[in-house]
A = this chain, B = another copy of it.
Amino acid sequence: MAQTWSVYLSGEIHTDWRERIAAGISEAGLPVHITGPVTDHASSDDCGVAILGEESSGFWKDHKGAKINAIRTRTLIENADVVVVRFGDKYRQWNAAFDAGYAAACGTPVITLHDPGLTHALKEVDGAALAVAETPAQVVEILRYVIDGVLPETA
């Protein structure tokens, strides 16, 4: 009756890194429950006004939406065993760094995932992480090792 690990995938929503991690986890047969933010960009932007009514100001439209998204994201991050935070080279992705800080303060292990070119800009975030990965496959290998104690064959 092994524990199911809850892994929250935070950050970049414009590439397929979540799908690649999910596929890797599935292939490895790991007892992992994947969670994350709503990744449909339009829905994430519009949720506040779509549900609670239009706003004339962009600031309050964003505000209403961000808070509804927070009901989901904070609940899931607080329930997570591991938080993976992905930074891409586009967009500022301050919400990803915010999530990393939130998870770190909760004492939840953080794995960052980004290209080496972002190393210097992300040094504080990486400094708070327990692993810094460059590929989704590495994240899967970390989870496989952490959960099942198995290393990649070529290692």
A15 at the interface (CB under 8 A from B): no
Complex Cα gap A42–B78 (Å)? 33
Q: Is the CB of A107 within 8 A of B107?
A: yes
A68-B130, A75-B81 given; A151·B47 CB < 8 A: yes
The number of chain A residues touching the other chain, given as a range, is 35 or more
A residues sitting closer than 8 Å to B (CB atoms) are 1-5, 33, 35, 38-40, 43, 46-47, 49-52, 56-60, 62-76, 78-79, 81-82, 87, 91-107, 109, 111, 116, 119-128, 130-134, 138, 141-142, 145-147, 149-152, 155
Q: Is the CB of B3 within 8 A of A79?
A: yes
CB neighbours of A131 from chain B (8 A): 52, 64, 67-68, 71
Q: Is the CB of A151 within 8 A of B46?
A: yes
Q: Is the interface of A mostly helix, strand, loop or mixed?
A: helix
Q: Is the CB of B43 within 8 A of A128?
A: no
CB neighbours of A75 from chain B (8 A): 5, 81-82, 109, 146
Q: Is the CB of B126 within 8 A of A66?
A: yes
Q: Is the CB of B100 within 8 A of A50?
A: no
